[in-house]
Chains A and B, each alone.
Chain A
């Protein structure tokens, strides 16, 4: 993504289904740049799939505008939008061969009959399905069906490709392969991707930017690293990875005070413009498990030191996840192999972190 030229803008989009009591989307503002890989994440029911349907035209917004490439498409029916979708369960036409599925959209578009063949061949090659063009979707594996769905939408050269949890039905290894393949294809074609998933790791792996949604609202839009290290609030922090949170008792320009420790306000990172950000439920200090170090007797003393007992050890391969019980609650820290060998269940342990690795953001009401 070299330029940041807006391609799609959602302006104050609200969606109220007749059957639902609360609106599914509330006053959503979102801008996608040309050529970027943008992911919407959030737990089920947060409105991410509805957002996708509004962009594809399969649903109409109750209010608000959707502008694509300078044209208001809010009221344009789905079949006239230059936007195509890879559906969650692929939605391949079972009565057509792979080649016919891919050619389906082209036959409808103003594409000369002669060039359809060439375009289909190109698309088939892009997704590596040369050997299966005559097969019916039912004869293909899940991963191959996924590729057909991708080719079928991409062959129409959409201004935006919408992907609705396309890898959800695949096993883990295949999912990793497809993530790499999707990223490569996105780079090669330069098509703007709007990707919906509940898997934050998947979003991190592929996206240029991520939008986190909750209860019909867009909580935070940020590049993956920023969303992980500087989450907009405690809910984002928790969704995009394991988060140790400490309620902030008081906070001023000099210090941030939590139950067990104080942090110098100048050193700890905070949500930008923290003073102006509304935090009706107070603030929390967020520390990621990898920033929480298990301290040996000779370790240099970090900024904050906490003492507890080891409640659980789970071996994760490259590190060991240590659950530590404190009087105020449980923490999770990642210990490297050497540190972990010195730990035993029920034994006392000291944990520490530096102010630079902590992050202060608004708390959220308990669910």
Chain B
């Protein structure tokens, strides 16, 4: 029935204005609550500005200053010399080393870490907790100690050369200490947990029913893994690669200890500039270049894709 059959439906209701306050808030309160929201953000913004933006600005300014070799201090004379100085073979070698080592280490970490993460995701309960603990435990011991420990495994007759000699390709007298290989082994060892955990957490979240659905639709367990589990775990692999690759670029302890100063990475150049010569300006310039490399690596592909999209849109519009 569409007709309101109560003769005075409206009149019987109590006048709302007297019993309850109006529901709408005045403009003043709305502004107030918006202000409150902004105020709540202030500590966060302060942290970001003080701890991240200000140091980067300092660094950028320092990289444009002049180092006074006599006083050992910075003269605030604007110069691009620190950047032109970078076009030297030692810088290029360090960059080449850093990029090469971090790319190889990232690939190695993902290739080794993925099967470990997958194995952990297949377990459950106590076994899974123990395995995760085993992955995380190294973080609780001193980083430098763990890196130094490798020196005792890499020398002639030590564990690693001996194991390699079992393949018959090398002699057990092989000395791996202070080589690029040693640095690579050290980096992969130190960053492996960082590559396992993101992949594990993504694998763990994949709905088991999706795999069962693939079986149900005619896929053998192996094929189902390649068609369902692997593609769904790729976001975890991407996070792994970022977590390993970016800190790797700035790594300096591992090359200093296991490379014995022979393998220079960008991190070592920065450390040398700051703690060796005290040339903050040169160190700052290297750090800025590293930052630029990382930003380009991170946003470059996306930026290019966006530019291509924009260009095609403009072109198609002008064509039409």
Contact = CB atoms under 8 A, between A and B. Distances in A.
Interface of A: 56-58, 77-80, 83-85, 87-89, 91-95, 104-105, 108-109, 152-153, 156
B126 to A, nearest CB: 15
B215 A58 contact: yes
Contacts of A87: 209, 212-213, 216
Contacts of B207: 89, 91
Interface in B209-255: 209-210, 212-221, 223-224, 227-228, 231-232
Contact of B218 (A79, A88, A93): A79
Contact of A78 (B209, B216, B223, B231): B216
Nearest to A82: B218
Given A93-B228, A94-B232, A79 B209 contact: no
Interface of B: 207, 209-210, 212-221, 223-224, 227-228, 231-232
A57 B219 CA distance: 13
Nearest to B221: A79
Given A58-B212, A79-B216, 9 more contacts: A57-B216, A58-B215, A77-B220, A78-B212, A88-B209, A89-B207, A91-B209, A104-B214, A153-B216
B218 A105 contact: yes
B232 A85 contact: no
B216 A93 contact: no
Contacts of B210: 91, 93-94
Interface centre among A83, A92, A93 (most CB of B within 10 A): A93
A84 B219 contact: no
Nearest to A149: B213
B127 to A, nearest CB: 15
B216 A85 contact: yes
A58 B217 contact: no
B209 A89 contact: yes
A85 B213 contact: yes
B231 A84 contact: no
Given A87-B212, A91-B209, A93-B210, A105 B217 contact: yes
Contacts of B220: 77, 79
A256 to B, nearest CB: 47
A79 B228 contact: no
B217 A104 contact: yes
B226 to A, nearest CB: 12
B228 A156 contact: no
A58 B211 CA distance: 11
Interface centre among A57, A91, A108 (most CB of B within 10 A): A91
Nearest to B207: A91
A58 B216 contact: yes
Contacts of A104: 214, 217, 227
A347 B68 CA distance: 106
A279 B112 CA distance: 64
